[in-house]
Amino acid sequence: MVSLELWVETMQTLALVLVAAVVATAVAVPIGILAARNRAVSVVVRPVLDFMQTTPVFVYLIPAVFFFGVGVVPGVVATILFAIPPGVRLTELGIRQVDREVVEAAQAFGARPGQVLREVQLPLALPSIMAGVNQVIMLALSMVVTAGLLGAAGLGAVVVRAVTQLDVGSGFEGGLAVVLLAVFLDRLTAAFGHPTALSRLRPRIRRTPPREEAGVPAPRPGEPARTTS
């Protein structure tokens, strides 16, 4: 980003995406949990999500401009509305896919519904929930250029300016910066849903070798193994 001389614009875009993603996630995850635990809510929410996902992107700009005018705020509002559906769907899917026997076992030990949700369902559904957060961030980033049409600063404004001035070089640099930022955010959010290789290796590193547990020291390099009678 520094080599492209777009560091300030990249930080403006990152701020817009993070604010929109945090708000969209804060709205989507509770709705997804409620839809997974209540059949009636799921039936009501599903057509609304279908409508939101099939609505063209520019349609979101009409109410945003009508209520908030032109600038950063309508861009953030339109981005939030556009990014909510995948978070709701993947949160509901993750909780519904939790093994029913595990939930029943927790209930049999006297866990309350809130404890089952916090300590059983949410941890087991975390990969699916993080995939939803990842999609929320990607959709928010895809609205950058659209937000630039409304006057929001950042990489979207760079691309819009390049299109209006037919500046191919500047438009390519702005698009490349958006792609690099998308790749970085995608890898970062995907890492939270899966354990790293180091965390998987730690139990093996700390485990005591079976020969030492039996009281037999490990042989030195080049020394024959000792046996016990």
Q: What is the pLDDT of residue 226?
A: 53
pLDDT of residue 30: 92
* Across 60-69, 110-119, 184-193, 203-212, least confident range: 203-212
Classified as helix, coil or strand, 97 is coil
For the chain, the structural domain boundaries read: 7-209
Nearest to 25 by CA among 194, 177, 189, 152: 189
CATH of 7-209, one of 1.10.240.10, 3.40.50.300, 2.40.160.20, 1.10.3720.10: 1.10.3720.10
Torsion of CA 206, 207, 211, 213, to 10 degrees: 100
In this model, does residue 77 exceed pLDDT 70?
Answer: yes
Burial class of residue 20 in the structure, from the number of CB atoms within 10 Å of its CB (0-12 exposed, 13-18 middle, 19+ buried): buried
Helix, strand, or coil (residue 18)? helix
Q: Is the pLDDT of residue 121 over 50?
A: yes
